[in-house]
Amino acid sequence: MRILVADDEKELVAALEELLKRERYTVDTVYDGQSAYEYASTDNYDCIILDIMMPDIDGLEVLRRLRSAGIKTPILLLTAKGDPSDRILGLDRGADDYLPKPFVVGELLARIRALTRRTSVMETPELTFGDLLLDRVAFKLVCGEKSEHLGNKEFQIMEALIRRQGSPTPVEYLMDHIWGYDASVEPGVVWTYMSYLRRKLEGLGSNVRIGMRRGFGYVLEEKK
C-alpha cells in the first residue's frame, strides 16, 4: 500500500517515513501544501497523512480541493492544532480521521490500518480484461484454470494497465506512480518488467497481450 505524508516538519516526516516503511508501506513525502495537492491529485494513494499548518496552501484547503476534484482517498489530519473547531472544520471538509500531535505511534498505525481496511472493503477484489482476471487479494493473474503469482511491481503494473481498459499507459506514469517520484529508475527497468509480464501471459495461454504504442505507452490488447 502507498501512503503520502505531507508535513513541513522534516524531522517528523523522516521518522514517519522510516516507521511506515518498516510496516511495509510504500511512502512518498512532501513538505508543503502545493506539493501535497499535486501528489495526492494523482489518486495513487491508499491513505494520505496531511498536516494542517503548511506553507503555500494549508492542509484544510488541500483537503477541500481534493474532495472537490473527486479524490476519495482516506485522509488523516495530523496537526498540533487541538481546537475542536479545527477538528470539526476538517471533518466537514471531508477528512476521514483526525489525530493531534503529539501522538502515540501505535495509535497512528491503528488508525491507518482502519482507514485502509475500510477502503479495501469498498473496492472490488477483482479486475478483469478480456480472458484475464486480476485477483487483488491473492496477487494472482488468472486465465481459465491457470494462474500466475505476481511480484509487487508486476502486480502494480498489471493493475494500472487493466484499470486503463485499453487506453495507453505512459512509461513516465508507471515510473512515477509505481517506483515513486524520487526514485532513480530508467525506462529500461519498466521494459524489463513488461517482459516478465508478457512471459506470464504466454504461460497462461491468454488472448491478451501487452502492446506498445510509440509516443503513448503500454496498452492491453486482445489478440484477434
Reported as a single tens digit per residue, the pLDDT across 113-163 is 888 876 654 556 788 999 999 998 788 999 999 999 998 889 889 988 998
| Domain end among 122, 140, 158 | 122
Position 149 scores a pLDDT of 92
Asked if residue 27 and residue 107 are part of one domain, the reply reads yes
**Cell digits for 180?**
515513486
Boundaries of domain holding 55:
2-122
User: In terms of domains, do 157 and 109 share one?
Assistant: no
Of the candidates 4, 42, 29, the one whose C-alpha atom is nearest the C-alpha of residue 175 is: 42
My answer on whether 80 and 106 are in the same domain is: yes
Domain identity same for 208 and 136: yes
User: How many separate domains does the chain show?
Assistant: 2
Burial class (CB in 10 A: 0-12, 13-18, 19+), 95: buried
State pTM to two decimals: 0.59
Identify whether residues 204 and 107 lie together within a single domain.
no
Shared-domain flag, residues 95 and 192: no
Encoded amino acid at 62, one letter: V
Q: Is the pLDDT of residue 81 over 80?
A: no
* Beta-bridge partner residues of 135: 126, 140
Band of residue 45 on the pLDDT scale cut at 50, 70, 90: confident
Identify the band that residue 74 occupies on the pLDDT scale cut at 50, 70 and 90. very high
- The answer on 107 and 184 residing in a single domain is no
The one-letter amino acid at 65: R
Q: Residues 17-27: what's their mean pLDDT?
A: 88
Residue 169 neighbours by CB distance under 10 Å: 22
Q: Are residues 80 and 177 in the same domain?
A: no
Same domain, residue pair 13 and 116: yes
Say what the pLDDT of residue 115 is: 87
Contact call for residues 156 and 196 (beta carbons, < 8 A): no
Question: What whole-number percentage of the chain has pLDDT above 70?
Answer: 93
- Residue 78, pLDDT > 90, answer no
Helical segments of the chain, H only = 10-22, 33-40, 59-68, 84-92, 105-122, 152-164, 171-174, 187-204
CATH number, domain at 24?
3.40.50.2300
